[in-house]
């Protein structure tokens, strides 16, 4: 039997991390088993449809290295792969269920349903549909249909006994049937509900393994009722643990940590995100953490999926991202980091290649880069206290001496010779002849020309990047600050 998995997102906006991980696990399992990964767009809820969201799905999956074998834009033997284009398929199946007694027409209005719901809540009960229209005589149903009354088709769920099924992650699951609702199968607009279309499409597309979020554990018995009513084989279920921010909180749009695009915009690498996301709810069985997509396919095993929610630790993701950047080819790093440099340094005549060399091993997330290099574009305000450094044996008095020592040396370097080697050699010779410690001179110089204690590179590298004119200007500013602090 060929393994066929599917990812069936709704085009309602950006890709949620939980959805992306569901796609990833479906993709990994299909490829591991030599099967097919199918993309299906479930757009039956037209009220939530967002223009352009389907393209976002395509771009996200492709950008993450997950190419589908069948789908809306690549075709296949089981299309169309967009549910709204399959609309005519669903009603005949629903009518078949009505004929067999597994479903029925319901004519209850929204006002009637609201009144019953409020009455149940007033009694302290959990509302579920009371099968009111199941009891309508067949003649009345036919008359109302002929008259054009608004209707939906509902599942006739059992009210006694239990329903059981096996899940690959959670084991044998059993639910009392009196908790099942008579869910709507066909809506008043003629469109199928998500739940009904899911089952019809999974069957017609030959889906063998349904891998989806654990939130569907309790509704799966309703899906199975449909499979059984049609006499169809039930697929293998693989319910996936939730992706959580912590043990009590879901990922949230408000906090900017819910969507794939949130992290891309912040400057996280897609390959780092996918690698880390694979480990949120699954483990390879050893201590290995870094995987390419092909390596994930090779080691993926659904028996190693966890039951407990997976915690999406942004600090751990950031560590992953930093490691990926450190291992990255330099030319690719330079290409990616350049637009981030431009945010604060465009037009400043800074040697980006050299700056990238200094920044590569210090970069954790690209959106942090502008703040780290902004001092090169404009000297920030800083306190005279920065000149004090116990280990470097520096203080404002020492700093005044140090800057006075450095200034004529740097003034004496020709513009044409302004490079790190010359700057280094001239300064180190002068410091050695002065009898001062290196740190006591270079720390004040670093503060004067950067305005901050932590920088990519030291005083020599910063001076080179700034250029002679700007370096001298900043030293003069430092001297004025120190003089006014006396």
**Torsion angle, alpha carbons of 247, 249, 252, 256, to 10:** -60
What pLDDT is recorded for position 17? 95
| Domain positions in the chain | 4-81+244-315, 84-240, 379-486
Go through the chain and tell me how many residues it has. 486
Give percent above pLDDT 70 in the chain.
Answer: 99
Fold classified for 4-81+244-315: Rossmann fold (3.40.50)
Inter-residue contact 168 to 238 (CB < 8 Å): yes
Cα separation, 79 vs 89, in Å, equals 11
Residue 114 has pLDDT above 80, yes or no: yes
What is the CATH code of the structural domain delimited by 84-240?
3.40.50.620
Q: Do 4-81+244-315 and 84-240 share a fold?
A: yes
DSSP run (H or E) holding 89: helix 87-100
Please give the C-alpha separations between residue 166 and each of 25, 34, 163, 217, 366, in angstroms, as whole numbers: 19, 24, 11, 10, 45
Cα separation, 200 vs 88, in Å, equals 12
The mean per-residue pLDDT over the stretch 309-336 comes to 97
Please give the C-alpha separations between residue 5 and each of 22, 165, 170, 212, 247, in angstroms, as whole numbers: 11, 19, 19, 10, 29
Cα separation, 425 vs 445, in Å, equals 15
Q: What is the DSSP string of 274-325?
A: HHHHHTSSB--SSS-----HHHHHHH--GGGB-SSPEE--HHHHHHHHHHHH
Q: Which two tokens stand for residue 392?
A: 């470097």
What pLDDT is recorded for position 47? 76
Residue 254 has pLDDT above 90, yes or no: no
The mean per-residue pLDDT over the stretch 330-343 comes to 98
Q: What is the mean pLDDT of the chain?
A: 95
Please give the C-alpha separations between residue 377 and each of 53, 334, 370, 467, in angstroms, as whole numbers: 38, 18, 10, 12
Q: Which two tokens stand for residue 232?
A: 């169809």
CATH architecture of 379-486: Orthogonal Bundle (1.10)
Inter-residue contact 43 to 72 (CB < 8 Å): no
Cα separation, 448 vs 299, in Å, equals 53
Angle at Cα 256 formed by Cα 343 and Cα 452, nearest 5°?
40
Q: 3-state SS of 364-379?
A: CCHHHHHHHHHHHHCC
DSSP run (H or E) holding 114: helix 110-122
Neighbours of 53 (CB within 10 A): 18
Cα separation, 67 vs 380, in Å, equals 47
Cα separation, 384 vs 30, in Å, equals 62
Sign (positive or negative) of CA dihedral 348, 353, 358, 364: positive
The mean per-residue pLDDT over the stretch 131-160 comes to 96
Neighbours of 3 (CB within 10 A): 17
The mean per-residue pLDDT over the stretch 435-453 comes to 97
Cα separation, 428 vs 438, in Å, equals 8
Q: Would you please indicate which residues are annotated as catalytic (active-site) residues?
A: 253
Beta pairing, strands 171-176 & 162-167: antiparallel
Neighbours of 465 (CB within 10 A): 26
Give percent above pLDDT 90 in the chain.
Answer: 93
Angle at Cα 53 formed by Cα 49 and Cα 55, nearest 5°?
140
What pLDDT is recorded for position 449? 98
Cα separation, 360 vs 207, in Å, equals 45
The mean per-residue pLDDT over the stretch 188-194 comes to 91
Going by C-alpha positions, the residue among 485, 4, 403 that lies closest to residue 235 is 4
What pLDDT is recorded for position 46? 73
198-236 residues labelled b (16+ CB within 10 A) or e (exposed): bbbbbbebbbbbbbbebebbeebbbbbbbbebbeeebbb
DSSP run (H or E) holding 141: helix 138-147
The pLDDT confidence band at residue 256, using thresholds 50, 70 and 90, is: low
Inter-residue contact 242 to 18 (CB < 8 Å): yes
Residue 167: beta bridge partners?
Answer: 171, 237
Q: Which residue has the tokens 């395509």?
A: 58
pLDDT in tens, 199-245: 999 999 999 999 999 999 999 999 999 999 999 999 999 999 999 99
What pLDDT is recorded for position 255? 67
Residue 272 has pLDDT above 90, yes or no: yes
pTM for this prediction:
0.92
What pLDDT is recorded for position 257? 73
């Amino acid at each position: 039997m060929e393994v066929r998995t599917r990812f069936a997102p709704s085009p309602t906006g950006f890709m949620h991390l939980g959805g992306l991980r569901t796609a990833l696990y479906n993709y990994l399992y299909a490829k591991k088993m030599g099967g097919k990964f199918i993309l299906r767009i479930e757009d039956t809820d037209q009220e939530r449809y967002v223009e352009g969201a389907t393209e976002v799905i395509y771009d996200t999956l492709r950008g993450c290295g997950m190419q589908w074998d069948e789908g809306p834009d690549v075709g296949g033997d089981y299309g169309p792969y967009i549910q709204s284009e399959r609309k005519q398929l669903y009603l005949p199946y629903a009518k078949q269920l009505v004929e067999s007694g597994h479903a029925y027409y319901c004519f209850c209005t929204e006002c009637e349903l609201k009144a019953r719901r409020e009455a149940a809540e007033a009694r302290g009960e959990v509302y579920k549909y009371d099968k009111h229209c199941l009891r309508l005589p067949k003649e009345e149903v036919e008359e109302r249909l002929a008259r054009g009354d608004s209707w939906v088709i509902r599942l006739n769920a059992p009210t006694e006994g239990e329903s059981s099924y096996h899940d690959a992650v959670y084991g044998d699951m059993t639910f009392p049937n009196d908790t099942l609702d008579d869910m709507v199968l066909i809506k008043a607009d003629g469109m199928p509900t998500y739940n009904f279309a899911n089952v019809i499409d999974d069957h017609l597309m030959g889906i063998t393994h349904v891998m989806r979020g654990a939130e569907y554990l309790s509704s799966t018995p309703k899906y199975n009722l449909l499979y059984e009513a049609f006499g169809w084989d039930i697929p293998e279920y693989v319910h996936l643990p939730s992706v959580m921010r912590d043990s009590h909180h879901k990922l949230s749009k408000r906090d900017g940590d819910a969507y794939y695009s949130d992290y891309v915009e912040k400057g996280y690498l897609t390959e780092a995100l996918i690698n880390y996301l694979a480990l949120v709810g699954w483990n390879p069985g050893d201590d290995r953490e870094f995987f390419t997509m092909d390596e994930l396919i090779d080691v993926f095993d659904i028996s190693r999926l966890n039951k407990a929610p997976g915690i999406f630790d942004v600090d751990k993701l950031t560590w992953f991202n930093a490691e990926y950047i450190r291992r990255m080819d330099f030319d690719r790093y330079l290409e990616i980091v350049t637009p981030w440099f431009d945010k604060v340094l465009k037009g400043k005549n800074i040697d980006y290649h050299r700056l990238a060399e200094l920044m590569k091993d210090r970069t954790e997330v690209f959106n942090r880069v502008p703040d780290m290099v902004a001092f090169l574009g404009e000297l920030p305000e800083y306190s005279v206290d920065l000149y004090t450094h116990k280990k470097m044996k520096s203080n404002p008095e020492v700093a005044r001496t140090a800057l006075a020592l450095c200034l004529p040396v740097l003034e004496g370097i020709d513009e044409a010779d302004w490079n790190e080697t010359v700057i280094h050699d001239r300064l180190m010779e002068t410091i050695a002849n002065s009898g001062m410690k290196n740190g006591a001179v270079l720390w004040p110089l670093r503060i004067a020309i950067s305005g901050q204690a932590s920088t990519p590179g030291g005083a020599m590298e910063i001076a080179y990047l700034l250029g002679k004119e700007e370096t001298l200007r900043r030293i003069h500013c430092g001297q004025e600050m120190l003089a006014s602090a006396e």
